[in-house]
Structure 1
Amino acid sequence: MFTFQFSNQYLLTIVGSFCLLVGQAMAQAPQDKKDLNISAKDKEIVLQELKQSMSKKYVFPDVADQVNTMLEQRQKNGEYDKFTSAREFAKTLTTHLQQQTKDKHLNVFFEANEIPPVDANGEPSPEEKKRLDAEERQFMQAVNYGVERVERLGGNVGYFDLRGFGPTEIVGHAISAAMTLLNASDALIIDLRKNGGGSPQTVALIASHFTDPEVHLNDIYNRAENKTTQIWSTPYTAGPRYDKNKEVYILTSQRTFSAAEDLSYTLQSLKRSITVGEVTGGGAHPVDGQRLHPHFMASIPFGRSINPITKTNWEGVGVKPDILSNANDALGVAHRKALEHLLAKEKHPGKKADIQRALDRLLKETQSGTK
C-alpha cells in the first residue's frame, strides 16, 4: 500500500506497510481546504506524539534526536504559540522537519475529518480496512491505474507514460497489458517525468519485464525491526519479457520521486536503461503512517533502500541521468537517440528507410519547435 496526495491521504497512509509518498503527479482529485482551530493542548499532543514517533521509527536515530531537540527548542521559544490554524500548523511542522533532515518523505498532514483510531499494532478496524480498500480501488480506476498513455512512435519506438506505481494487486493487470502492447516495439521510452512514486512491489513487477527472472533489484532496511527485506525480479510475468537486446530509455524530471526513482536507479544500475532528462527529486526512504491526533498524521521514513550493486541509494542526491536534458525536451532527445541507434544497426532496406523517415520528421519537428 502507498499514498496518493488527495483529500483522504491519511486513510491510505494508516494501512501502509510500505508507504511511499506520491507527490503532485497523480493528484487529480481536488484538495480539501477545510481547516480547524487548534488549541495549545492539541498542539502539545501533536508535538509529543511526533517526537515519540521519530524516536521509535525514523530510519536514522541520531537524526531523530536532532529533530526532537529542534522541535523542543522551537516550542521553548514559543514559535508554535501563534498558530490557531491546524492546517498551517501541519504545514509549518513539515517545513521544519524537512529543513532539519532534507528528507522529503517526512511530512505532517492535517485532515478536517476525524482520523479513525488504530489498534496497538497501528492497524485500523476490519471495517475501516474494507472501506479504505474500496476507496483506493475506486481512485486507482479513476486514474486508469496510473497508465496515462501507451503509444507507438515513429520508427516503431514504444512510449509508456506512467504517472504512479499503484498497489500491485490493483494495477498489475493494467501494467501487464501495457507491457504486452509495447513488446513488439524496437525500442522503448518510459516516461516518469510526472511520476511521484508508489509501491516498491510494482517497481519490481515493471523491472521484471526488463531483467531475467529472480534478479536482485533492491533491499529495504527497516530500522525499528533491524531487518532487511530483499526485492527480486519475479520468476513470471503475465506478458512476455522485453527483448534484452532492445534499448530502454527512461525520462526523468525534478518531479520524478520515490518509487519512480527506484525504477530509474535500479535499471540504470543494471545497465538496462538509458536515463534522459533532469536529476530527480531524491527520496529513497520508505515511509509508514503514524496517527498523531484525531486530525493529524505523519509519514515517518522507517527504512532506507540499498541497491545491491552500488550499495547505496538516491536519497538527497536524486538519480543522475545518463543524458542531461531539460525535462520538456527529454522525449525528443530520447526518441532521436533511439532512432539513431536503430538506424545504425538495421539491415533491412525497407525498415531502414522507415526509420530514416521517422528521424527526418522528428528533426524537422524539433527544429520548428513543435516536438
Structure 2
Amino acid sequence: MHTFNTSPLHFLKPLSVAISGLFFISANALAQMPNTKKDLNISAKDKQIVIQELQQSMSKKYVFPEVADKVNVMLNQRQKNGEYDQITSAREFAKTLTEHLQLQTKDKHLNIHVELNEIPVGNANGEPSPEEKIRLDAEERQFMQAVNYGVEKIERLGGNVGYFELRGFGTTEIVGHAISAAMTLLHASDALIIDLRKNGGGSPQTVALIASYFTDPEVHLNDIYNRAENKTTQIWSTPYTAGPRYDKHKQVYILTSQRTFSAAEDLTYTLQSLKRSITVGEVTGGGAHPVDGQRLHPHFMASIPFGRSINPITKTNWEGTGVKPDILTNANDALGIAHRKALENLLTKEKHPGKKADIQRSLDKLMNEKSASVK
C-alpha cells in the first residue's frame, strides 16, 4: 500500500505512519516544525551505525547512483574530519546529516528523521508486519479525518467561480470519498480555482484521481522510474470518476507558492503540461522524486528518493527547478489575480444578460476592493 507523509507544517503525525511505503516530504517544512524538548542522546557507535546504513541505502536505492557515490565519499570525509564527534543530540545529528545530504545533492526529498519511539523492524523487503500495517492504517485514517482529509475549504466566489483549497494528497482509499464530494459540489461552477499554496505533497495515486476530473478517461499523466528495480510505472487518468468530470471548456486555475511541493507540484505540472490549467503564483519548491522510507536504526529513518517522475509530454520534470507559473506573482496576490482573470474570461463568453451582469458586478467589487487595499 502506498502511504505518504505530507508537509509536516500542516500534517503533523508520527514518522512511523510513513514507513510502510512511499511518501513525500519537504525539508523546508521540516525546518518549520514546532520545537520540542524531547530528544535522545546518541553514542558514537550509534552514529556510525546510522551513517553506514545510510551509505548502504544510498548505494542501493538512490535515484542517481553516481550521486550516491559522491554522497558516500562526502560522509566518509566528514567523519574523518570529526564533524560529527561532538554531537550527542539525536535531533541535531539528524538535522546535520540532512543539511550535508542536501548540500551535496540539492535534493529536498532526501532527509533523515528521528523517531522517539522505536521503529519496528520490517520484513526482508522493509515492509511492516501485517499487524503493524493495520495499526499504521488506523493511525493514518484517524489523522486524515482530523484534518478533513486535506480538504481545507470549498467556496463559491463571486461570479460563480469555485474555490478549492487542498492541503495534502492523502492515500486514495482514505481520502477519495472527500475528493469526490468536493468535486461534485464544485461541478456547477463556471470556473475553478485550486489552491495548493500550503500543500506539501502526498500520494501520486490521489494526484491521478484529481487530475482525472479535468481530463478525458485514460489519459497518460506521468511515469515514475524506479532505479533499484529498473522499472517504469505509467500513471493514467481513471476510466471513470465517482462524480461528474469538470467541463473541459471551463477554465481551471492553480495557485502556487514556494511551499507548494512534491505531489502538489505533480498535479500543477501535469495539468499545465496538458494545457488544462493556468498556474498563478510563485515558482514551487522543486521536488519531483518519489521517496521510500528506510529504517537506519531503531530511532532513525531516512527518506531516500528512489526514482524520478517523467512527464510524457515534456519528457522531464520539475526537480530542482520547480513549476514555473503562467502568471508569476506573489503568493499572497495569487487568489485575487486568478479570480479576476476568471471573471474577465467569463465576461467575454457569457450571453445571458442576467449572468453577465452578475459577473460584471463581481468583477467591479473585486477591483474596488483592490483599489481600497492599495490606498
Indicate whether the TM-score tops 0.5.
yes
> For residue 349 of structure 1, what is the aligned residue in structure 2?
353
The partner residue of 1:2 within 1, 4, 7 is: 4
Work out which of the residue numbers 118, 123, 133 in structure 1 matches 2:122. 118
**Residues 231-281 of structure 1: CA distance to partner in whole angstroms, max 9, x if unpaired?**
000001000000000000000000000000000000000000000000000
The answer for the alignment partner of 1:364 in structure 2 is: 368
Q: 234, 255, 258: which is aligned to 1:254?
A: 258
Measured in 2, the distance between the counterparts of 1:44 and 1:15 equals 25
CA contact (8 A) 2:13 2:143 kept: no
In 1, Cα distance between the equivalents of 2:217 and 2:285? 29
Which residue in 2 is equivalent to 1:81? Answer: 85
Letter in 2 for 1:325: T
User: 1:178 is matched with which residue?
Assistant: 182
Unpaired stretches in structure 1, ≥5 consecutive residues: none
Runs of 4+ in structure 1 off by over 2 angstroms are 4-10, 22-33
Native 8 Å contact 1:59 1:303 kept in 2: yes
Structure 1 Cα separation of the partners of residues 306 and 128 of structure 2: 19
1:47-126 matches, within 5 Å, as 47-126=51-130
**What do the CA deviations read for 1:202-253 (whole angstroms, capped 9, x no partner)?**
0000000000000000000000000000000000100000000000000000
- Post-superposition CA distance 1:93-115 (Å, at most 9, x none): 00000010000000000111111
The AA in structure 2 aligned to 1:234 is T
> How many Å apart are 1:366 and its aligned residue?
1.2
Q: Which position in structure 2 is the counterpart of 1:159?
A: 163
Whether the aligned pair in 1 keeps the contact of 2:27 and 2:111 (CA below 8 Å) is no
What SS is found at the alignment partner of 1:244? coil
Q: Which amino acid aligns with 1:220?
A: I
1:316 counterpart (297, 310, 320): 320
Question: Structure 1, residues 29-79: CA drift from partner, whole Å, max 9, x if none?
Answer: 966541111100000000000000000000000000010000000000000
Matched with 1:243 is 247
Deviation, structure 1 residue 119: 1.4
1:250–1:274 Cα contact (<8 Å) kept: yes
CA contact (8 A) 2:16 2:119 kept: yes
Equivalent of 1:228, from 219, 229, 232? 232
The alpha-carbon distance between structure 1 residues 26 and 330, as it changes in their structure 2 partners (threshold 3 A), is farther
Q: Secondary structure at the match of 1:42?
A: helix
Distance in 1 (alpha carbons) for counterparts of 2:20 and 2:243: 30
Partners of 1:31 and 1:135 in 2: CA distance: 23
Is contact 1:343–1:352 with CA below 8 Å preserved after alignment? yes
Q: Structure 1-normalised TM-score?
A: 0.97
Percentage of identical aligned residues: 82
The size of the alignment, in residue pairs, is 369
Partner SS, residue 182 of structure 2: helix
The farther-off stretch of 22-31 and 292-301 is: 22-31
Quick check: 1:3–1:9 contact (8 Å CA) kept in 2? no
Aligned counterpart in structure 1 of residue 277 of structure 2, from 249, 273, 278: 273
1:40–1:81 contact (8 Å) kept in structure 2: yes
- Which position in structure 1 is the counterpart of 2:306? 302
Structure 2-normalised TM-score?
Answer: 0.96
Cα distance, 1:28–1:351 mapped onto 2, change above 3 Å: farther
Give the corresponding residue for 1:292: 296
1:22–1:198 CA contact under 8 A, matched in 2 = no
Q: What is the aligned counterpart of 1:15 among 16, 20, 39?
A: 20
Which range moved further: 67-76 or 117-126? 117-126
Q: Does the CA contact (< 8 Å) of 1:23 and 1:257 recur in 2? A: no
The change in CA–CA distance for 1:331 and 1:7 in structure 2 (over 3 A counts) is closer
Letter in 1 for 2:19: I
Letter matched to residue 318 of structure 2: W
What's the counterpart of residue 41 of structure 1?
Answer: 45
